[in-house]
Amino acid sequence: MNMGPQHPSTHGVLRVMLTVDGEWIRAADPDLGYLHRSFEKMAELRTYVNYLPLTDRWDYLDAMGNNLVYAETVEKLMDLEVPPRAHYLRMIVCELNRIASHLVFIGTFGLDVGANTPFMYCFRDRERILDLFEAICGARLTYSYMRIGGVACDAPDGWLEQVRDFCDYLPPKLEELDDLLTGNQIFVVRTRNIGVITPEQAIEWGLSGPMLRGSGVKWDVRKEYPYALYSEVEFDVPVGTRGDAYDRYCVRRREIDESLKIIRQCLDKIPEGDVMAKVPKIIRPKAGEVYHSVETPRGELGLYMVSDGSDKPYRMKIRRPSFVNLSIFPELVRDWKVADVVVILGSIDIVMGEVDG
Amino acid sequence: MDWTYWLFLLLKMVIVLGWALLMVPLLIYMERKVLADFQARIGPNRVGPVGILQPIADGIKLLLKEDLLPAKADKYVHFLAPLVAVVPAFLALSVVPFGPITHKETGTGYFVTHVNVGLLFILGLGSLNVYAITLAGWASNNKYSLMGGIRSSAQMISYELSMGLALIPVLMIAGSLDLVRIVENLGVAKGEGLSRLLLTVPLTISFVIYCICGVAETNRAPFDFPEAESELVAGFHTEYSSMRFALFFLSEYVNMITVCALATTLFLGGWKFPFVPETGPFPLLVFLAKVMIGLYGYMWMRATWPRLRYDRLMKLGWTRLLPIALANIILTGILMIAFQ
């Protein structure tokens, strides 16, 4: 049976060829590439500055995180020091973007199991975040807010207070969501013990992000290899116990709380000052190679960049977490039912723009 | 049996049919507005004042759409399935008592016909719905549709038995299969005082089981497996368009009305309400109000709950509802003997 690329629950243009026996799945064969845009090759043809807007289009639900990994990788290559205010602004927008992305996940996961209302609530709250982004950089989805050496512009007057208001606004709304989904008996029955990943399996398949932490492995790039100023803020890394779809959902749900915590600390600590370091007009990093990774809502987004000293990268390899996380999917859905396929796929939380590169 | 009797009968048929056909757009509008309210949206508000004409616009759109027949689909069965869905749905309404018998000598009243096994008639017609869905799924030559059709038959064997058993306590207490007499007898048969109080217990249990099964019978959330938008695209009616799709849609809503009407008749006292006279338009209004409450419940559930997995319903039906329904019958029997 052919599922996708035009199926309501494949989250984009994923095509899976399922071998079914009645409602039972015997084998699944994903067919990728419907959204391939050769991002790695395009990097070799553009200058370092020119490529930045394209990063927005990898994982379009977490454009800030993509901006960040690209900017920080080039900065690492150039040994560039970024002003602290820029660091804090970057962390605030990244965590806001993480919340927005997880809200989309919760909403669409609700749709996958047949609950329509949480989706509306999530998108209503996500709208507030998009409004904040619009205020700071003028865009609602493809921000290109960060620059190599800092951020495009300082926060407008009153923006930081608006962020603080949002941090107070969200928790009651999240409780509403918990009533509708997290504690809902039908939802728990649909997701408990579905698509279980053991910790060993998770590590073997190279999973990262909530997919890994759902299985109980406490591993977060923000903690293991702190970037930006994540070493200066306190937060927990939520982990699951059973590694099923429900645990992965709960990890993401609790990460929203942690992100709020990080944002509050950043708002307290943010110093005055420049938001942009001194950067030459034409960026020509010295020849060399570097690997840098950040924790996006989907996992470890890594960038391996080789410079030959010219104004364009010689080679750029993107470690796309959605792609790596999706690789375990055929393994997970075997011997489950058709109804579980959408739950398992939903719990992986893929963004096809990133999977297909 | 003079000609006025037949004229009157015909008139009543037209009225009930017209009422059902009018209720459907009203319900669609209500559902969209209620869901919008639950989901912090506005809902339809463009066509007519506060969007009241939206269902009519939808209906016209469906009428004007191309009627598609998938390649290699079974032409005749594909054509027949929506009819199998819609005819029993409307037929079931013919025996629903909207009010009491008004003319003792001819036996006419606020209903189209008076069948002495009305309950069996409705149950029988209700179970025909599954044929329509299975046939539609099979005739569409589409794997998703077929899966929806198969799910529908699996669903029926999960709830049908518990549903039938849940209604038995009502029959035992009322002592009749006649819907009019059930409404009239049930209150009296329960007796007074302690007997009334205790006999309400099994009836309440029956009511809850009936509600669960009723939702399953009409394929509505959280038991909308044959459709299951996020899994089976649109399930059995994926390959239906235009008027044939509209007929499925129509039958779904009419079935909802029937299930609520039956719940009203059997458990909620039908057209009766304290201090409301049983003459003129009052029985109809009371009945309608009770049905509307039930329909609102449908929409509430749809807005609140996710969908179960279809084998969970089977488990629920066979391991929970069925034993409870059986125990309920025994309980009713014991109580009835005790208070004889």
| pLDDT per position as a tens digit, B154-199 | 888 888 888 888 888 888 888 888 888 888 777 777 777 777 778 8
Instruction: Give residue-wise pLDDT tens across range B92-136.
Output: 888 888 877 777 776 777 777 777 888 888 888 888 888 888 888
Amino acid at A54: L
Considering only residues 152 to 211 of chain A, which have any Cβ-Cβ distance to chain B shorter than 8 Å?
180-181, 184, 186-187, 189-190
What's the mean per-residue pLDDT of chain B?
84
What is the ipTM, given to two decimal places? Answer: 0.80
Closest partner residue to B309 (CB to CB) among A9, A184, A190 is A190
Cα separation, A2 vs A17, whole angstroms: 5
Q: Quick one: pLDDT at residue B219?
A: 82
Residues 6 or more apart whose CB falls under 8 angstroms from that of A280 comprise none
Q: For A122-148, give the DSSP string.
A: HHHHHHHHHHHHHHHHS-SS----EET
Q: Quick one: pLDDT at residue B327?
A: 92
**Phi, psi dihedral angles at A289 (to 5 degrees):** -140, 155
Closest by alpha carbon to A355, among A5, A3, A91?
Answer: A5
* Total beta-carbon pairs less than 8 A apart between chain A and chain B: 80
Q: Quick one: pLDDT at residue A98?
A: 92
Yes or no, beta carbons of A117 and B303 under 8 Å apart: yes
Instruction: Give residue-wise pLDDT tens across range B3-56.
Output: 877 887 888 888 888 888 888 888 889 888 988 888 888 888 888 888 888 888
Query: In 10 A of CB A239, how many CB atoms?
Result: 21
Chain B neighbors of A22, CB-CB under 8 A: 150
Interface with chain B: mutation pick from A6, A117, A176, highest number of B CBs within 10 Å: A117
Output the 3-class SS for A47-75. Answer: CHHHHHHHHCCCCCCCHHHHHHHHHHHHH
Smallest Cα distance from A115 to chain B, Å: 4
Instruction: Give residue-wise pLDDT tens across range B47-66.
Output: 888 888 888 888 888 888 88
Would you say residue B209 has pLDDT above 80?
yes
Q: Quick one: pLDDT at residue B1?
A: 59
Chain A neighbors of B224, CB-CB under 8 A: 114
Q: Quick one: pLDDT at residue B101?
A: 76
Does the predicted model carry a pTM greater than 0.80? Answer: yes
Smallest Cα distance from B212 to chain A, Å: 14
Considering only residues 104 to 143 of chain A, which have any Cβ-Cβ distance to chain B shorter than 8 Å?
110-117, 119-121, 124
Angle of helix A84-112 relative to helix A63-78, nearest 10 degrees, comes to 140
Peptide bond into B222 cis (omega under 30): yes
Matching residue, tokens 């469906």: B62
Yes or no, beta carbons of A114 and B307 under 8 Å apart: yes
Chain A neighbors of B152, CB-CB under 8 A: none
Per-residue pLDDT of chain A (357 residues; tens, 9 = 90+): 888 788 877 787 888 888 888 788 888 888 888 888 888 889 899 898 888 889 888 888 888 989 999 999 998 888 888 998 999 999 999 999 999 999 999 999 988 888 888 888 999 999 999 999 999 988 888 888 898 888 888 888 889 999 999 999 999 989 888 888 888 888 888 888 888 888 998 899 889 889 899 888 888 888 888 888 888 888 888 998 888 889 999 999 999 999 999 999 999 988 888 888 888 888 888 888 999 999 999 989 999 999 998 888 999 999 989 899 888 888 888 888 888 888 888 888 888 888 887
- Among positive and negative, which fits the CA dihedral B315, B320, B323, B325? negative
Smallest Cα distance from B208 to chain A, Å: 17
